């Protein structure tokens, strides 16, 4: 396995904010200091915590009735993914990953020289989890790890409760471990809770990025058993010393007002989807409706544009930025985000309509 030839993260850092209107953004707009009830002049430059802020770990754990020894804090959600995966895998081990999916999770594992195989979450099946196919692949390949997202990135589809229970059964019967990226799950109301509650072989990943408006505060968390967290910390020790004390303090402030930030995020998503969903109903693009969050993954009819990248190029020419689907393993799609203010979103979609008509 080699490093990605089309690294999404590189594109996102350099181009996701191109254009007058960026529909490539997948997080809510940034919060301000006042949203956190925090004065930046109160931040200390010398605070130390070996494995992340204690109050944040306790808060994440207490939300679901656990102790803080079940919470791991990494320097980002991607770093947290890597710490758990790297603590499990050896060179040559088999990893199964969803396609379309958030491929940077896979890119990070390329340095471990694992063998990665996709399983398909199909547009025609509304991106349902292919349970029989996945179970056969785990058994046939002796896979040690399965990578998933919920809400599914890029489509926004949620795992049904039967699919979540299937993952627990899969872990129990085959011994495979599952890492579920649940960065978008808190957009759901009510929140079904982390998948890791269903089986000790499942690790849940979350973070402050997508929902809480802290994209530049790079901190992520993993919820698992104390034994798996201790194992992941060995990788953390080898890849960084500890998180920034400024990050820890901002995260602590954000967690104190978490309910307020969640309400803000859900309101932004609701208003954004009201605009985008209405537009899609009369658009020639085909889409599976997301369960929540800020993104969807329309399929581009080939008679209009040969690829999603071609549509993205034409859209950028009129000032609208969307994410080409090949970054997620589906060249015939684009990913739309609806987190910008509704009036700006409506203007951007009007321009997209002109591009599609042309």
| 332 lies in some domain | yes
17 and 60 within one domain: no
Range of the domain at 118: 44-258
250 and 271 within one domain: no
Q: Which CATH number fits the domain that encloses residue 64?
A: 3.40.640.10
Secondary structure class of 186 (helix, strand, coil) = helix
154 and 58 within one domain: yes
Q: Choose one of 258, 287, 309: the last residue of a domain.
A: 258
The residues, any chain, with a CB within 8 Å of residue 322's CB and separated by 6 or more, are: 23, 24, 311, 312, 315, 334, 335, 336, 352
- H-run or E-run covering 104: helix 104-109
Q: Choose one of 258, 277, 312: the last residue of a domain.
A: 258
163 and 153 within one domain: yes
Structure tokens at 289: 């409706």
**pLDDT confidence of residue 3:** 64
270 and 251 within one domain: no
287 and 174 within one domain: no
275 and 195 within one domain: no
Instruction: Indicate the number of domains in the chain.
Output: 2
* Confidence grade of residue 2 (pLDDT, cut at 50, 70, 90): low
| 36 lies in some domain | no
Tens digits of residue pLDDT in 314-345: 999 999 999 999 999 999 999 999 999 999 99
| 37 lies in some domain | no
Q: Choose one of 233, 258, 283: the last residue of a domain.
A: 258
- What is the percent of the chain with per-residue pLDDT over 90, rounded to a whole number? 88
Tens digits of residue pLDDT in 237-250: 999 988 889 999 99
228 and 334 within one domain: no
CB 28 within 8 A of CB 295: no
- Alpha-carbon 106 to chain mean position: 13
């Amino acid at each position: 396995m080699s490093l990605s030839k089309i690294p999404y993260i590189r594109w996102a850092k350099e181009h996701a904010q191109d254009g007058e209107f960026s529909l490539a953004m997948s997080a809510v707009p940034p919060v301000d200091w006042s949203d956190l009830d925090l004065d930046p002049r109160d931040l200390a430059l010398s605070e130390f915590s070996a494995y992340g802020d204690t109050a944040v770990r306790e808060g994440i754990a207490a939300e679901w009735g656990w102790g803080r020894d079940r919470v791991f804090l990494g320097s980002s959600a991607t770093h947290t993914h890597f710490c758990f995966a790297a603590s499990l895998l050896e060179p040559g081990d088999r990893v199964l990953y969803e396609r379309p999916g958030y491929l940077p999770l896979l890119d990070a594992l390329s340095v471990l020289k694992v063998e990665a195989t996709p399983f398909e979450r199909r547009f025609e099946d509304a991106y349902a989890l292919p349970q029989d196919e996945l179970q056969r692949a785990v058994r046939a390949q002796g896979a040690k790890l399965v990578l998933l997202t919920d809400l599914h990135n890029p489509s926004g589809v949620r795992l049904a409760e039967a699919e979540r229970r299937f993952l627990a059964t899969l872990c129990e019967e085959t011994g495979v471990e599952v890492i579920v990226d649940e960065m978008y799950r808190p957009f759901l109301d009510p929140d079904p809770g982390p998948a890791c509650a269903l089986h000790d072989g499942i690790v849940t990943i979350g973070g402050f990025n997508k929902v809480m408006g802290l994209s530049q505060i790079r901190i992520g968390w993993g919820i698992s058993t104390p034994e798996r967290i201790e194992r992941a910390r060995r990788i953390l020790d080898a890849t960084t010393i500890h998180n920034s004390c400024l990050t820890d303090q901002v995260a602590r402030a954000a967690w104190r007002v978490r309910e307020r930030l969640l309400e803000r995020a859900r309101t932004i998503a609701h208003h954004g989807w009201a605009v985008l969903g209405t537009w899609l109903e009369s658009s020639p693009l085909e889409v599976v409706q997301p369960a929540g969050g800020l993104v969807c993954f329309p399929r581009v009819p080939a008679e209009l544009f040969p690829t999603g990248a071609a549509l993205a190029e034409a859209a950028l020419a009129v000032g609208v930025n969307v994410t080409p689907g090949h970054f997620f393993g589906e060249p015939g799609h684009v990913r739309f985000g609806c987190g910008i203010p509704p009036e700006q979103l409506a203007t951007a979609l009007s321009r997209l309509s002109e591009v599609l008509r042309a």
